[in-house]
């Protein structure tokens, strides 16, 4: 009886629909601290599956802040406007694309991204694509005029943390997960970043850290 119940439960879980969930937390004022503690989104960690990933700018021009290693080194900004501790694209540009190569195909359970800035460079707007690299037409570095879906990439989620009301500045944490417990088995992640506004030149996000959580 118990065995049949466990089997039925397993079959029910396997039949659950796969729904990607984007959790967004926003800290402002004294709630925003160097520890990046949020109500729902986990704080950044140093030993995640992306800690040793290879990163490359596919599209766009980085600003004179930190290099790409700032996204995976586990070191966090200690203040809200600290260019040297964040990666961001140049002022006046239309964002860009960052490629993350995890080195091998892994079962990804979550992708978490973090940012911090007192103004328009705080909010995160990006499309997250993923691939295992086995697609015959796979292109790991799609150009600006190439849609990733046409060359072996799968759209995982669209993220937009801009608040509906109030100022957009502050500290943001985003956690992308799936109801099945797995986003899929991937080696490559592509972050297609978009400016948070175009009223002035300073809309490209100050990205502080990216964590990739692998299934244990």
Residue 79 maps to a domain: yes
> Residue 167 has which token pair?
């100022």
Residue 177: inside a domain, yes or no? yes
pTM of the model: 0.91
- Mean pLDDT, the chain, as a whole number? 92
Cα separation, 179 vs 153, in Å, equals: 21
Residue numbers of the domain that contains 166:
18-214
Rounded CA separation 19/13 (Å): 13
Residue 6 banded pLDDT, cuts 50, 70, 90? very low
Contact between 40 and 25 under an 8 Å Cβ cutoff? The reply is: yes
Q: Residues 82-138: pLDDT tens digits?
A: 999 999 999 999 999 999 999 999 999 999 999 999 999 999 999 999 999 999 999
Mean pLDDT throughout 141-156? 97
Question: Given a cut of 80, is residue 5 above it in pLDDT?
Answer: no
CATH number for the domain spanning 183: value is: 2.60.120.260
- The pLDDT tens digits for 49-59 are 999 999 999 99
Does a structural domain hold residue 144?
A: yes
Domain count, the chain: 1
What CA dihedral angle connects 153, 150, 90 and 113, to 10 degrees? -20
Return the structure tokens found at 103: 């080195």
pLDDT of residue 17: 83
């Amino acid at each position: 009886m118990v065995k049949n119940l466990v089997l039925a439960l397993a079959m029910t879980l396997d039949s659950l629909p796969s729904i990607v969930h984007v959790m967004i937390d926003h800290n402002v004022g004294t709630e925003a601290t160097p520890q990046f503690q949020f109500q729902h989104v986990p704080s950044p960690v140093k030993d995640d599956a992306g800690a040793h990933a290879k990163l490359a700018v596919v599209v766009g021009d980085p600003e004179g802040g930190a290099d790409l290693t700032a996204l995976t080194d586990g070191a966090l900004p200690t203040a809200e406007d600290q260019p040297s501790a964040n990666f961001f694209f140049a002022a006046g540009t239309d964002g860009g694309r960052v490629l993350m190569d995890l080195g091998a195909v892994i079962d990804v359970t979550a992708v978490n991204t973090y940012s911090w800035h007192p103004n328009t460079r705080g909010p995160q707007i990006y499309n997250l694509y993923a691939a295992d690299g086995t697609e015959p037409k796979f292109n790991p570095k799609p150009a600006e005029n190439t849609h990733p879906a046409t060359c072996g990439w799968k759209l995982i989620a669209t993220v937009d943390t801009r608040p509906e009301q109030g100022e957009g500045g502050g500290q943001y944490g985003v956690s992308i997960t799936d109801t099945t417990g797995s986003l899929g088995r991937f080696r490559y992640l592509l972050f297609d970043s978009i400016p948070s506004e175009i009223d002035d030149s300073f809309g490209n996000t100050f990205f502080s850290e990216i964590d990739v959580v692998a299934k244990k």
